[in-house]
Structure 1
Amino acid sequence: MSPSRPLFKRSLLAQALARDVAGESFVDYSSGLFLAAPRRTGKSTFLNNDFIPECENRGWLAVYVDLWAARDSDPAQLISGAIGAALARFENPVSKAAKKAGVEKISLLRTLSWDFSKPQLPSGTTLAKALEVLHSISGKMIVLIVDEAQHALNSESGLNAMFALKAARDHLNRGLQPDGIRLVFTGSSRDKLANLVLKSKQPFFGANITSFPLLGHDFVEFATHLWNKRLADSNQFSADDMEYAFERVGRRPEMLNQLLTEVSVGRGEASNLGELLRTGALNHQAGIWSDYESACNDLSALQLAVLNVMAERTIGKQAFAPFAEQTFEDVNRKLEQAHAEPNASTPNVQKALDALRDKELVWKANRGEYALEDCAMAQWLTRVNKAD
């Protein structure tokens, strides 16, 4: 982060996660790694600049797909496209490997006339079979990384793709050589990502969600040094001021960069950069909170009560069961505290959830699970309720 954009390397974290994914440590993610952290906190940057190079250094074949990059596209097509692009790198030996894997030419290779310039799997080819061929062709363990994996839950085909990846994992990791594939999923919402693992009918039931480590003080020191190199010796940022600002912008490097640019360039040679930085960070935080407050001011008592209960579940890392008896009790308690009629019921809560979805405050998975659209809102709601 800076005008020259030097990279802050997180090599130790990449090495640790690679060991975990490989099953070489006490923390074994060989069945799947699920990383959750708020958007724009550095997950994708880490994956591309640290984790994927570490995988390649180990001799693994990393296949990366970002479901957020093309949100209007079918997640299943994006995943198959990434696998197809990886297969295209091994165009020459594909025919031989496909035959060894028992794949019909017409289904995978279209009678050996598959157009490798178009990174899509031929119609009728399963993800499991394509990954099996890719593993056979490359002779390497595949690490399939699905960034913002929660978007797969928005459609039946996307969810089916998740089940297909589980089937591929089970197939390629069996027997005496259980190192065919590793799966890594990231998500900007822990609640949304959890919809892949919490219930027995979900594809990766039983897996754990791991919090992606946010950038720490070592990054703050890196950023401080980087920015101070372009400033006069008498006009420098302190690491304490930088840390204060970084925390207020949610430990998001891009937002810190924007704030630093405004303060150091937009304000010229001001001698109080630290004060300006802290003030700018507070204004940024206040702006976000003001947006949350404006959104909540437009809600009915029941809608706000449902939102507050969802926030409590998010903070407590619990699943939100919208029509459970306990949920009705908690919503009614919120309504009573607001001196409103305690009228929580299945039809009323459903109407409230529909309204919250229309206002883009609540997200719904294809199979009916709900989560806050912005998990940071849960922290703000908790703070406001404590103040009350």
Structure 2
Amino acid sequence: MKHFPRPRLAMEMIESCMGKTLFGDTHNGLFLAAPRRTGKTTFLRMDLKPALEQQGVHVIYVDLWSDLDGDPGLIIADAIGKALANTNTAFNKIARNTRLDKVTIPGVSLGFNRPDQPDTITLTDALRAMIEAAKSPVALIIDEAQHALTSERGRNTMVALKSARDQINAPGLVQLMLIMSGSDRDKLLHLVHGNSSPFFGSQVGHMPELDQNFIAFIAQEIEAVRPDLIPVDVNTLFRAFQLFGNRPQLIMTAVTDAISPLASTSERFECKVMDEALLRQKRDEDEMKNGFLALTPLGQAIIWRMLEMGENFRPYDAAALDFYAEKTAKKPSIANVQKTIQTLRDQNHPMIWKSAMGEYSVSDAAMHRWYLKKAENGGWPPTRQGENNA
């Protein structure tokens, strides 16, 4: 299917990042949260990046999930280093002035394979030289930015970027734009909340999800290739899309299967898509329920506390230990809590995420949405078939 463009949203973000809006703090950094597979990365790469470039901005894009085994600090450093190396004028200016071999960040280095030139410069100086040489602002887009906090190098890199922003930008003149996205708002909040956070004081916004306009776009594409299906029931498709969690890939797969020549013609394809959406929702919820019920009583209590407290979760404080004792009928030792948390982190599909600063959250943001839904409906905690809720 063709790409569904969102140029208006891209321009609104750019104007905000450039400090052209009356209110707001996004010129100090734009932090966007959106659930996984809802079109966030596609928007960043296909809409925002080209729109920035059309405005004359030099864009560096980094996806921290491109290499989950690599250190996120080094991944960011490598992207900046390659951008500098590819900007010949900037590289020549830096090399001439500093005899550059590396750009340094505490615990991170950007190598340029210039062993004959051993001097180094800071990340701030490298970005400033790049801006001056390109005669344009630089935008650094970091997708899944919360992953940077899983290593000390990654966190140091974030601190260095905040310092670079403060030194390069001036009131009314934004030369370095920082745009960071994440698929888990609670994790992304660790970048901006708390005195030790790299971007303390900034806010995490919710990236607008694909809406009825996206479904209308799909309907138009269907009607163009299948006139026999006119008119497409966009209302039913949109309800199905919401059940799919606003995930475009899932509804497109369901639509493709439903309008296939091999599909049954006993009912409208929109009804088939809705049936698939309901089935997918039940499968997802059953998977989370079964995963939760498979945990030990202490494991369940820890996850429950984590879901309930969100960013305020503290695994070992007195209130948490009392909570575990209430749910398991036995007060655990801190050592047992530590061991259980580590086990939940070491699973093939880890249930707990931990930052380099010792902050915790559930690994899958969908679990938090599932918890809220169950709690609102009086269905928490989940139970095995035939049991009553506690």
User: What is the alpha-carbon distance in structure 1 between the residues aligned to residue 368 and residue 346 of structure 2?
Assistant: 18
- Pick from 254, 275, 279 the counterpart of residue 283 of structure 1: 279
Q: Partner of 1:229: helix, strand, or coil?
A: helix
After TM superposition, the structure 1 = structure 2 runs for residues 68-217 of structure 1, keeping only pairs within 5 Å, are: 68-92=65-89, 94-99=91-96, 102-107=97-102, 124-174=120-170, 178-217=173-212
After TM superposition, the structure 1 = structure 2 runs for residues 324-363 of structure 1, keeping only pairs within 5 Å, are: 324-333=317-326, 335=327, 340-343=328-331, 346-359=334-347, 360-363=350-353
Q: Partner of 1:371: helix, strand, or coil?
A: strand
Asked if 1:368 is matched to 2:365, the reply is no
More deviation, 194-203/242-251: 194-203
User: What is the alpha-carbon distance in structure 1 between the residues aligned to residue 292 and residue 180 of structure 2?
Assistant: 32
Aligned structure 1 segments of 4 or more residues deviating by more than 6 angstroms: none
Letter in 1 for 2:86: R
Preserved CA contact (<8 Å) 1:311 1:379? no
After TM superposition, the structure 1 = structure 2 runs for residues 247-262 of structure 1, keeping only pairs within 5 Å, are: 247-262=242-257
- Pick from 30, 39, 43 the counterpart of residue 40 of structure 2: 43
Letter in 2 for 1:213: P
Q: Structure 1 length as normaliser, TM-score?
A: 0.86
Q: Cα gap change, 1:234/1:63 in structure 2, threshold over 3 Å: closer, same or farther?
A: closer
Q: Cα gap change, 1:328/1:62 in structure 2, threshold over 3 Å: closer, same or farther?
A: same
User: What is the alpha-carbon distance in structure 1 between the residues aligned to residue 228 and residue 118 of structure 2?
Assistant: 61
- Pick from 349, 366, 380 the counterpart of residue 370 of structure 2: 380
Preserved CA contact (<8 Å) 1:235 1:271? no
2:267 aligned partner: 271
Q: Per-residue deviation at 1:242?
A: 0.8
Preserved CA contact (<8 Å) 1:150 1:187? yes
Preserved CA contact (<8 Å) 2:60 2:141? yes
Letter in 1 for 2:150: N
Q: Per-residue deviation at 1:143?
A: 0.8
Letter in 2 for 1:282: L
Preserved CA contact (<8 Å) 2:72 2:153? yes
Aligned length: 365
User: What is the alpha-carbon distance in structure 1 between the residues aligned to residue 54 and residue 101 of structure 2?
Assistant: 36
1:215-236 residue CA offsets vs partner (Å, 9 max, x unmatched): 1111111112222333242576
Letter in 1 for 2:339: K
User: What is the alpha-carbon distance in structure 1 between the residues aligned to residue 50 and residue 161 of structure 2?
Assistant: 23
Q: What stretches of structure 1 of length at least 5 have no aligned partner?
A: none
Question: Taking every aligned residue pair, what percent have the same amino acid on both sides?
Answer: 33
1:42-101 residue CA offsets vs partner (Å, 9 max, x unmatched): 1111111211122122221111111111212222222122222222332145323554xx
Q: Cα gap change, 1:382/1:104 in structure 2, threshold over 3 Å: closer, same or farther?
A: same
Preserved CA contact (<8 Å) 2:94 2:100? no
Preserved CA contact (<8 Å) 1:303 1:355? no
Q: Cα gap change, 1:215/1:332 in structure 2, threshold over 3 Å: closer, same or farther?
A: farther
Q: Cα gap change, 1:180/1:228 in structure 2, threshold over 3 Å: closer, same or farther?
A: same
User: What is the alpha-carbon distance in structure 2 between the residues aligned to residue 81 and residue 364 of structure 1?
Assistant: 24
Preserved CA contact (<8 Å) 1:97 1:136? no
Asked if 1:7 is matched to 2:11, the reply is no
Preserved CA contact (<8 Å) 1:197 1:206? yes
More deviation, 65-74/342-351: 342-351
